[in-house]
Amino acid sequence: MGAAKILVVGPLGVGKTTLIGTVSEIEPLSTEAVMTRAGARVDTTPDQSKTTTTVALDFGRITIDGELVLYLFGTPGQPRFLPAWRDLAKGSLGALALIDTRDLESSFDALGNLEDLGLPFAVAVNVFPGSPTFTDDELRTALDLLPDTPLVFCDAREATSSVRALIALLRHLIDVTESA
Ligand SMILES: Nc1nc2c(ncn2[C@@H]2O[C@H](COP(=O)(O)OP(=O)(O)O)[C@@H](O)[C@H]2O)c(=O)[nH]1
Ligand SMILES: [Mg+2]
């Protein structure tokens, strides 16, 4: 029985809390707070619909194949919290980076930091209604992904879809470990 710490990263409103809540077999710990006026100036989502934001982190647990326990840490996506999630990255094996195709640039901070940290990651495009659609190649180019970085599409509200994204990450972590 192994255990691994995995980060779920991405910008505000991309679906981190949703994904962790969808897959977690324990009551997910989520620290949501109504946005403060200070936050409201900078914390915006493309459709302006979000009224709460994660101020600290989300935490959940999922057991894969009855033997591998993943501890999921959802890390705040706002740029001003990036130093905090650098600390959270300590001891983690890898990350699932969530992407919203309505605003690809909002993911650049998180992806850049994963690269700076040398943390292996998979990219999961969380599909929202009305999201522009891109081909894999277009997304890889726009996000400047390495050829071996997994790119999957998911719906964070669906367990099967979210678990599939985590498994794509796990396969990648195994590949990276074996080729090291
Ligand atoms: N349509 C759709 N909505 C989603 C999906 N994932 C999250 N949402 C919604 O998007 C909003 C932001 O999600 P949340 O998990 O709070 O984002 P976070 O800021 O990254 O934790 C919530 O209202 C979710 O219900 C998804 O895969 N599809
Ligand atoms: Mg959240």
152-166: per-residue pLDDT in tens? Answer: 999 999 999 999 999
pLDDT at position 174 over 50: yes
Mean pLDDT, the chain, as a whole number?
86
Partners of residue 158 on adjacent β-strands: none
Q: What is the rounded distance in angstroms from the CA atom of residue 140 to the CA atom of residue 152?
A: 11
The pLDDT value given to residue 38: 45
The full set of domains in the chain, from first to last, is 2-178 (3.40.50.300)
Task: Write the residue with the smallest CA distance to atom 19 of ligand 1.
Answer: 13
Q: How far is the CA of 14 from the centre of ligand 1 (A)?
A: 6
Mean pLDDT in residue range 126-151: 95
Return the ligand number nearest the Cα of 165.
1
Residue 50 vs residue 173, higher pLDDT: 173
State the DSSP H helix or E strand holding residue 32, giving kind and residue range, or none if neither: strand 29-34
Mean pLDDT in residue range 54-61: 76
pLDDT at position 37 over 50: no
pLDDT at position 78 over 90: no
> Per residue in 94-138, pLDDT tens?
999 999 999 999 999 889 889 888 999 999 999 899 899 999 999
φ/ψ region of 142 (left if φ > 0, alpha if ψ in -120 to 50, else beta) reads: alpha
Q: What is the rounded distance in angstroms from the CA atom of residue 151 to the CA atom of residue 165?
A: 9
pLDDT at position 12 over 60: yes
The pLDDT value given to residue 51: 56
Give the nearest ligand 1 atom to 158 CA: 27
pLDDT at position 44 over 80: no
Give the nearest ligand 1 atom to 129 CA: 1
Q: What is the rounded distance in angstroms from the CA atom of residue 17 to the CA atom of residue 97?
A: 13
Which residue of 12, 18, 32, 57 sits with most ligand 1 atoms within 8 Å of its CB, as the best mutation to test the pocket?
18
- Which protein residues touch ligand 1 with a CB less than 6 Å away? 10, 12-18, 50, 54, 126-129, 155-157
The pLDDT value given to residue 33: 53
The pLDDT value given to residue 166: 98
Cβ(9)–Cβ(82) under 8 Å? no
**Residue 61 binned pLDDT confidence (cut-offs 50, 70, 90):** very high
The pLDDT value given to residue 22: 96
Q: How far is the CA of 98 from the centre of ligand 1 (A)?
A: 11
